[in-house]
Amino acid sequence: MALFKGAGVAVVTPFHPDGTVNYERFAQLLDYQIDNGTDAIIVCGTTGESSTLTHEEHLDVIRYCVKHVNGRIPVIGGTGSNCTETAVYLSQEAEKAGVDGLLLVSPYYNKATQKGLYQHYKTIADSVSLPVILYNVPSRTGTNIMPATVVKLCREVENIVGVKEASGNISQVAKLMSLADGCVDLYSGNDDQIVPLLAMGGLGVISVLSNIAPRQTHDMCAKFFEGDLEGSRKLQLDAIPLVDALFCEVNPIPVKAALRLQGRDGGRLRMPLCDMEAEHEEMLRKAMEEFGVL
């Protein structure tokens, strides 16, 4: 059975002005997602600024998320690293915390070969009993998990169940699903390609957009699965200007600005990320108004 079907939010990590985690605000953000139909919480991913969290902060945020969500929807912990031993440690601790599954980004900077990627992922998956979703985002990591490697992992490692595909390459995704023959749970990692990936057999999205438009993102998936393809397509196309605005600067700079505009402030960014340029924020505001989320 799939970890989830529909819209999972890649939730932000809110910070106090002094840079510490704002757990009170985090609870509010989690409740807002659940109240508005989000199907899963993905905690400590890229959008959650995991790369600037200490290991203890990282695990404390995961523990808090699991405790606060309290089984209402699945919680998937981002525990990937470019160091295999670190990823094993974070994954084992996240399992102890009670997450329902893991999201593992491909190793960044050191740029493993396909053989190295296979060994990396198999080592982590073998160290836990949880279902694992691979995360392919070459624009961030410099490494592309090729379709044959994804399929090999899903076929040969029992608890590797799927992939968050954020390559942006529709032809690559089509190749993946052709090779998979049903063995790969596919999730879109790009908010502008949710419906196209659903049409190729995807189960949903792990979404930045859902931070500020959870109901619309959920409905985009739900309408597709209900057979309302026109309704799903319309939501996808209507969201494009907002998605463009949410990625006009590196994520999560714009989405944290969007939360502030909505009055649900996610707090400061951790360096080296910095505040959004004024002209980009105005573009974001306009896109939010047009999509009905401001």
Query: Which residues are catalytic, by number?
Result: 135, 164
Residue 223 near residue 176, CB atoms below 8 Å: no
- The 3-state DSSP class for residue 134 equals strand
Query: At residue 165, what are phi and psi to the nearest 5 degrees?
Result: -100, 110
Q: What is the distance between the alpha carbons of residues 171 and 243, in angstroms, rounded to a whole number?
A: 21
Apex 204 CA angle, 47 and 245, nearest 5: 45
Query: At residue 83, what are phi and psi to the nearest 5 degrees?
Result: -110, 115
DSSP string, the chain: --S--EEEEE----B-TTSSB-HHHHHHHHHHHHHTT--EEEESSTTTTGGGS-HHHHHHHHHHHHHHHTTSS-EEEE---SSHHHHHHHHHHHHHHT-SEEEEEPP-SS---HHHHHHHHHHHHHT--S-EEEEE-HHHHS----HHHHHHHHHHSTTEEEEEE-S--HHHHHHHHHHHTT--EEEES-GGGHHHHHHTT--EEEESGGGT-HHHHHHHHHHHHHT-HHHHHHHHHHHHHHHHHHTSSSTTHHHHHHHHHTT---BPPPTT--PPPHHHHHHHHHHHHHHT--
